[in-house]
C-alpha cells in the first residue's frame, strides 16, 4: 500500500512539474495584468515605468511557476535549461550562463536584472524563440 501511494505521489509531482507553458503564461498574464501593448513595448524597447513593473510581475510569476526562480531571488540556471526545448538551448545557453548569475535581493530584482541583461545580450531573439509571451 505504501508503494502505491509513493507511485501516485511521484506521478502527481511529475505532472505538476511538467505543467504546460501555455497554462503558466495564461495564469501570469491574468495575475500581472500584462497586455498585448506591453508585449509590443518590450519588443520595441519602449517600456514605460509602469510597463516595466507589469513585465517584472509577469516574469516573476512565470519563472516561479516553472520552478526556475525562488522567492528569495535565486535563479536556477540548470532548471531553466531543462525548461527550454532542446533545439533552442544552443541559442539560450550562452545568455543564461551570463545573465543568470546576476541575482538580486528578491525575486523581482533578480527578474529585472535577468530581463535587462537578456535584452542587452540577445535583443528580442530569446523572447521570441523561447515563446515567453
Q: How far apart are the first and last CA of the chain?
A: 43
Given a contact cutoff of 8 angstroms between Cβ atoms, the answer to whether 104 and 112 are in contact is: yes
The pLDDT value given to residue 18: 54
In a domain, 75, yes or no: yes
User: What letter would DSSP give residue 105?
Assistant: S
- What predicted TM-score, i.e. pTM, was given to this entire model? 0.80
State residue 122's pLDDT score. Answer: 86
Q: Into how many domains does the chain fold? A: 1
- Examine residue 49 and state whether it is found in any structural domain, yes or no: yes
- Structural domain boundaries, residue 84: 21-130
CATH number at residue 47: 1.10.238.20
Distances (CA, A) of 13 to 52, 63, 69, 79, 91: 33, 18, 18, 16, 29
In a domain, 5, yes or no: no
Contact 46, 74 (CB under 8 A): no
Alpha-carbon distances, residue 5 vs 2, 15, 17, 122 (angstroms) = 5, 15, 18, 46
Residue 115 within any structural domain of the chain:
yes
- The per-residue pLDDT for 126 is 79
Q: Report DSSP state, residue 82.
A: H
* Residue 117, in any domain of the structure: yes
Rounded average pLDDT per 10-residue block, the chain, 133 residues: 39 49 93 90 84 93 96 95 92 92 94 91 81 80
Any domain includes 60: yes
Confidence (pLDDT) at 21: 87
Q: CA-CA distance, 10 to 63, in Å (whole number)? A: 22
Amino acid at each position: 500500500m505504501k508503494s502505491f501511494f509513493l507511485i501516485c505521489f511521484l506521478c502527481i509531482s511529475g505532472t505538476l512539474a511538467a505543467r504546460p507553458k501555455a497554462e503558466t503564461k495564461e495564469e501570469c498574464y491574468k495575475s500581472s495584468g500584462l497586455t498585448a501593448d506591453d508585449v509590443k513595448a518590450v519588443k520595441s524597447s519602449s517600456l514605460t515605468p509602469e510597463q516595466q513593473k507589469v513585465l517584472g510581475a509577469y516574469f516573476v510569476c512565470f519563472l516561479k511557476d516553472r520552478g526556475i526562480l525562488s522567492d528569495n531571488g535565486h535563479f536556477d540556471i540548470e532548471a531553466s535549461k531543462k525548461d527550454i526545448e532542446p533545439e533552442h538551448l544552443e541559442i539560450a545557453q550562452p545568455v543564461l550562463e551570463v545573465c543568470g548569475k546576476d541575482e538580486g535581493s528578491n525575486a523581482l530584482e533578480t527578474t529585472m536584472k535577468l530581463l535587462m541583461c537578456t535584452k542587452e545580450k540577445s535583443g528580442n531573439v530569446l523572447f521570441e524563440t523561447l515563446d515567453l509571451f
